[in-house]
Amino acid sequence: MIDADVVVGDRREFESDDFMDAIDPVLPYGFRLAYGMLRNRDDAADVVQEATLNAWRHWRSFRTGADVRPWFLAIVANQCRQTVRQHWWSVVRKSDLVAQSSETGEAPSEEVDNLRRGLRKLSHADRLVLVLRYYLDLSFSDVAAMLHTSPAAARVRTHRALARLRPIIGSAEDLDDA
Amino acid sequence: MRESKLRTKFRDAIGEEPAPADLRMRTQAALKRELYGPRDRRLDWIPAVVAVLLGIALIASLLAIGAYRRAQAPTVSSPALSPALVYVQGQSAWQAVDWSGREHSSVGSDHVGVPYQSPDGSRLVWSAQGVWQIVDSRGGLLSSPDLSRSRGFTWADDSSGICVVEVINENPPNGGTYQLGFYSTAGEFRPIASLATQKGPNIAACSPTAGRVVITTASGYKDAPSEVRRITFGEIVIFDFKSGALLRRQTFAVGSPATEVNTVSVSHDGTVAALRTEAQTSIIRLLDGKVIARATGVTPLAFSWDNKLLVVEGSGNRGEVLQVLTGELLWRDSTSRVTQGAVADPRSSAVMLFVTSGGLNDLLVVSPDGSARVIATAVFPAQIAPCPDCTAF
């Protein structure tokens, strides 16, 4: 008489399975964003883990039918900011030194090194919009969905962030996406 | 520089780092710890200390309130926590019986009308000489909520109070605006949310434990050929119990009797609902509307407390109990009795059916193992379950 296709069991376990099924496909995006922001593999994995827990705690308020990716990436971005705040950034940590020394054997070109240092000096908001656009390859619509703004505003923010990056890296003509 | 070159530069600067292979496993493990076990955090002592301090403050407050209440209203007594009770009308009072049929205390009959009891029977709300009162299982007055603007109310599933829909502006049959609130048994009112509807709103579930309030809206009309009053449900609206945030609003198609939702039964915690149309009954998960199961030829009456069983009215208005987990029929009434309603036992997975052969009700308890027994005969029960269409207009 009844064609049951979903088990109604313990409510929390039942919802957590659903939650993981929804979050699983966007975990790699979350990690890429966290790595783009922090440039540390362990920190990025920790951030994704913590962001997943935060997402679970707010899962019931997630609007059914909405896109999970921008929602989850926004949580990851917020977690990255928290992580940065928690660290005493004037101290160079041992793990950073190990990570930096274990990067590609070749020394980075001056251009890449400048860009890397420039990104590190940008504010969280500016770095976020550039990482979303140029490291995660998101469209302006997707960036807008994540930042809760319009695509036009996302485009403006991106260009302003690029403009702020130019003087830092001292290469005005190289950073223009027009 | 073109965008593609800019992207290449960013990749070179940041570096390519694939996600760890065990990322999903690690996040799943963290989630399990969140669900079932303590987390290992250096600052975990802070919430513990805060909880202890709050606990001390709460106990002190309760002691103070208790002393005050004893001084002001000596008839107030503590609620009967176990077992769950059901009230039936006796010779001169409403008699409490537990789910095994054993009689407990009775409550005086100086109150007007049928009492509406909380799921575990530890509290009742009724109108004594025109004044609404919340009383305990011995009739001790707990509070007198102001329900003068109420359009309907439903007991919280933990018996801690009642969810109320109050009228702000109403223009039947064109709907109105309403305020959803909560009266604790101590009489404190807390607004939850406001809503505007096209049909009459009722509270189908009020669950502080699950953190949800489920509203159904319904309208009634008389079908001219059959002279039968028909109910049409317009929507289900789910609010967060604490914040009042709108969690979901699901609208049903109206206009064609064949496809309209005419019966709704919601689980006590607002997790699942059974929706009946002429064609079929669908069991849905409320937060996303996903259909869990379908049945034909039955009218849903009540879910068991653990949502594993669904009581329905089958052919000939005879009671049936279905297992949602397996889709199997657990029990069917083999007699010619008619089933008029059902409720869930908040202390177990059992369900109770109100059956009749033409007179008063027999109380029939069906256990999860499929066994059934009558615990009381020829009685008139109090209102126990929420009524999703009681004030349809």
Query: Interface pTM (ipTM) of the complex?
Result: 0.77
DSSP code of residue B316: G
**Average pLDDT for B219-239:** 78
Given a cut of 50, whether residue B76 has pLDDT beyond it is no
List the single best residue of B1, B5, B11, B14 to mutate versus A (max A Cβ within 10 A). Answer: B14
Whether B153 and B164 have beta carbons less than 8 Å apart is answered as: yes
Check residue A150 and give its pLDDT: 87
Same domain, A58 and A94: yes
Q: What residues of chain A, 37 to 96, have a C-beta less than 8 Å from chain B?
A: 39, 41, 44-45, 48-49, 52-53, 56, 60-61, 64-65
Contacts of B12 in chain A (CB under 8 A): 108-109, 112, 115
- Give pLDDT tens digits for B258-309: 889 999 999 999 999 999 998 999 999 998 888 888 888 899 999 999 999 9
Query: What's the pLDDT band for A14 if we cut at 50, 70, 90?
Result: low
Same domain, A137 and A178: yes
Select the residue of B14, B325, B329 nearest A36 (Cβ to Cβ). Answer: B14
Given a cut of 70, whether residue A171 has pLDDT beyond it is no
Given a cut of 80, whether residue B38 has pLDDT beyond it is no
To the nearest whole Å, the CA of B243 is away from the closest chain A CA by: 11
For residue B33, the surrounding DSSP H or E stretch is: helix B23-36
**Average pLDDT for B145-157:** 89
**Residue B147 touches partner A, C-beta closer than 8 Å:** no
Residue after which a domain boundary falls, among A76, A103, A130: A103
Check residue B84 and give its pLDDT: 93
Residue A45 belongs to a domain:
yes
Same domain, A64 and A11: yes
Same domain, A94 and A116: no
- Which residues constitute the domain of residue A34? 7-103
**Average pLDDT for B189-206:** 93
Provide Rg for chain A, Cα atoms: 19
- Give pLDDT tens digits for B95-120: 999 999 999 988 876 555 678 899 99
Q: Which residues contact A71 (CB under 8 A, 6 or more apart)?
A: A55, A62
Check residue B17 and give its pLDDT: 82
Dihedral pair phi/psi, residue B286, rounded to 5°: -70, -35
CATH class of the domain defined by B274-392: mainly beta
Rounded to an integer, what distance in angstroms lies between the CA atom of residue B58 and that of residue B61? 5
Check residue B56 and give its pLDDT: 65
Query: What's the pLDDT band for A93 if we cut at 50, 70, 90?
Result: very low
Check residue B71 and give its pLDDT: 46
AA letter at A171: S
Place of tokens 């309130």: B65
User: Which two three-digit tokens encode residue B370?
Assistant: 């499929």
Given a cut of 70, whether residue A107 has pLDDT beyond it is no
**Average pLDDT for B32-53:** 55
Same domain, A43 and A90: yes
Query: What's the pLDDT band for B22 if we cut at 50, 70, 90?
Result: confident
Of the candidates A153, A136, A164, the one whose C-alpha atom is nearest the C-alpha of residue A76 is A136
**Average pLDDT for A141-159:** 88
Check residue B230 and give its pLDDT: 74
Range scoring the smallest mean pLDDT among B18-32, B198-212, B276-290, B348-362: B18-32
Instruction: Please answer yes or no on whether B7 and A45 come within 8 Å at the CB atom.
Output: no
Mean pLDDT computed over every residue of chain A = 74
Rounded to an integer, what distance in angstroms lies between the CA atom of residue B140 and that of residue B133? 10
Residue A166 belongs to a domain:
yes
Give the residues across from B85 on adjacent strands.
Answer: B98
Given a cut of 80, whether residue B138 has pLDDT beyond it is yes
Check residue B229 and give its pLDDT: 66
Domain parsing of chain B, residue ranges = 83-137, 145-261, 274-392
AA letter at B272: V
Same domain, A81 and A168: no
Rounded to an integer, what distance in angstroms lies between the CA atom of residue B200 and that of residue B218? 5
Residue A161 sits in a domain whose CATH number is 1.10.10.10
Query: What's the pLDDT band for A113 if we cut at 50, 70, 90?
Result: confident
To the nearest whole Å, the CA of A134 is away from the closest chain B CA by: 5
Same domain, A79 and A15: yes
Select the residue of B12, B15, B272 nearest A8 (Cβ to Cβ). Answer: B272
Range scoring the smallest mean pLDDT among A34-38, B17-21, B250-254, B273-277: B17-21
What is the SS3 assignment for B272? Answer: strand
Which residue has better confidence, B112 or B19? Answer: B19
Residue after which a domain boundary falls, among A103, A118, A148: A103
Check residue B48 and give its pLDDT: 55
Residue A91 belongs to a domain:
yes
**Residue B295 touches partner A, C-beta closer than 8 Å:** yes
Dihedral pair phi/psi, residue B134, rounded to 5°: -105, 125
Say how many domains are in chain A: 2
Residue A68 sits in a domain whose CATH number is 1.10.1740
Predicted TM-score (pTM) above 0.95 = no
Residue A139 belongs to a domain:
yes
Instruction: Please answer yes or no on whether B287 and A60 come within 8 Å at the CB atom.
Output: yes
Instruction: Please answer yes or no on whether A2 and B9 come within 8 Å at the CB atom.
Output: no
User: Which two three-digit tokens encode residue B130?
Assistant: 């025109």
Residue after which a domain boundary falls, among A46, A78, A103: A103
**Residue B282 touches partner A, C-beta closer than 8 Å:** no
Instruction: Please answer yes or no on whether A12 and B211 come within 8 Å at the CB atom.
Output: no
